[in-house]
Amino acid sequence: MIIEWAKKTMTVNKITVNKKLFLNTYIPMEWDVKHFEDVADIDKENLNGNTPKEYEFEYISLSDVDSDDFKIETTKQVFSSAPSRARKIVKKGDILMSTVRPNLQGFSIIRDEVKDLIASTGFAVISCNKCSNEYLFQYLFSSGISKQFYQIIVGSNYPAINSSDVRKLQLPLPPLPEQKAIAHILSTWDDAIKNCQQLIAQRELRKKWMMQQLLTGKKRLKGFSGDWTHVKIGTLFTEILDFNDGNDSHSIMTISSKLGLISQEDKFDRVIAGDSLKKYTQLKKGDFAYNKGNSKTYPMGCIYQLEEIESALVPFVYICFSPIDNIDPMFYKHWFHERGLDRQLKKIITSGARGDGLLNVNTDHFFNMVIPYPKKTEQTAIARILQAADKEIELLNEKLLQLKEQKKGLMQVLLTGKKRAL
């Protein structure tokens, strides 16, 4: 639907002559090329030393702007105790442009009425007066502006630009009605992206609630009753002691706390195993591995299952184990992801992380920890529900990626005049 709407909204630019060159890209002759300072005030108003000490305001720091959804978080400050960088006055319609690592696109636009809003000096506050602020805001995410950032920053020891750099940035400027039309089309994609992101967040929260209820037996599926038993890990899983058999077909993998089992080349751009590869543990599809390394996501370490490929080699410091036949591994995959072992791990970890960053977890103690053991049919029923939730989230993430790619393609043609919005 949204793609068809865009096709009806845009027309192919049939101009074959009368073009001008801007950043090695031809744009329509009727478009102008302007510096930011020609169409906007940069850092128009600032607090000064005469500001009353008791003046209260909402403060925006660099970390308060979310570059993914343009949301802004603020903190209440009093001038006498506020950060020294709290100086730039922000009003409705202004654009906030991070000048520190601008390639990370920490930008936002103030669309609502605000009062006593102050931004960090790490932002440039752009107040448009001779162009559409929504058009200029969209241009900040274009490849054209990225090229200009690169030209300014290249060779610098610190990836930042200053207000004078911002003033000299250039943008292709169509007539005002076309600026507004372009901004409207691109903002439609922004809305679709935002809605998709919100839907993903909702589905992830719902799945988390389902995991907390279903994987603990607090909520039972229809047709299942009776208390769950609890047994030792070593009763349902067998420790894997097989070392590398020398077959070159095995993938050499590591565990990322957020991504699970991934190849060492993907994570480190190379295989880091070295001579220790001979001692790496050999996994088969369906096996599990416990990475004893602590992280923010998994402070007690994390457990992942080998799902996508037939075999892999993982560091010998991991505790690896295979499921027995009368359980559903997918149930335990989700149970481990939900940090089901954390309380018990905390008790058996003898001290903090060692010099190599690994937690002190004794293998015998690990396999003596207990885990829930519902009937296999109930395990499978729960696993299927959680797998369906994962699939829904996966499809939504694919849709989100498509929307972002579509917007990127639209920007390439609309902001250069290859296709016209009017």
Task: Compute the distance between CA of residue 406 and CA of residue 420 in angstroms, rounded to an integer.
Answer: 16
**Per-residue exposure over 259-287, b if at least 16 CB sit within 10 Å of its own CB, e if not:** ebbbebeeeeeeeebeeebeebbbbeeeb
CB-CB contact of 64 with 155 (8 Å): no
Half-sphere exposure of 104 (CA within 13 A, CB side): 14
Q: Please provide the DSSP assignment of 315-341 as one string.
A: -TTSEEEEE-TTS-HHHHHHHHHTTTT
User: Topology of 32-173 in CATH?
Assistant: Adenine-n6-DNA-methyltransferase TaqI; Chain A, domain 2 (3.90.220)
Q: Enumerate the CATH 3.90.220.20 domain ranges in the chain, comma separated.
A: 32-173, 229-373
Task: Compute the distance between CA of residue 342 and CA of residue 211 in angstroms, rounded to an integer.
Answer: 15
pLDDT at residue number 274: 81
Phi, psi of 16 (to 5 degrees): -105, -15
pLDDT at residue number 15: 44
Tokens of 408: 């990127």
Phi, psi of 184 (to 5 degrees): -65, -45
Q: Please provide the DSSP assignment of 104-120 as one string.
A: G--EEE--S--SSEEEE
Overall CATH class of domain 229-373: alpha beta
User: Topology of 1-31+175-223+378-422 in CATH?
Assistant: Helix Hairpins (1.10.287)
Query: Tokens 């207000």 correspond to what residue?
Result: 163
Q: Enumerate the CATH 1.10.287.1120 domain ranges in the chain, comma separated.
A: 1-31+175-223+378-422
Nearest Cα residue to 199 out of 407, 404, 406, 400: 400
pLDDT at residue number 8: 56
Task: Compute the distance between CA of residue 104 and CA of residue 159 in angstroms, rounded to an integer.
Answer: 10
* CB neighbour list of residue 210: distance below 8 Å, 6 or more residues apart: 385, 386, 389
CB-CB contact of 192 with 403 (8 Å): yes
pLDDT at residue number 363: 95
Nearest Cα residue to 116 out of 49, 47, 70: 47
Low-confidence ranges of the chain (pLDDT < 70): 1-18, 67-70, 155, 352-357
How long a stretch of residues is the chain? 422
Task: Compute the distance between CA of residue 181 and CA of residue 10 in angstroms, rounded to an integer.
Answer: 9
Task: Compute the distance between CA of residue 174 and CA of residue 416 in angstroms, rounded to an integer.
Answer: 9
Nearest Cα residue to 34 out of 159, 200, 161, 179: 179
The pTM score is 0.82
pLDDT at residue number 9: 57
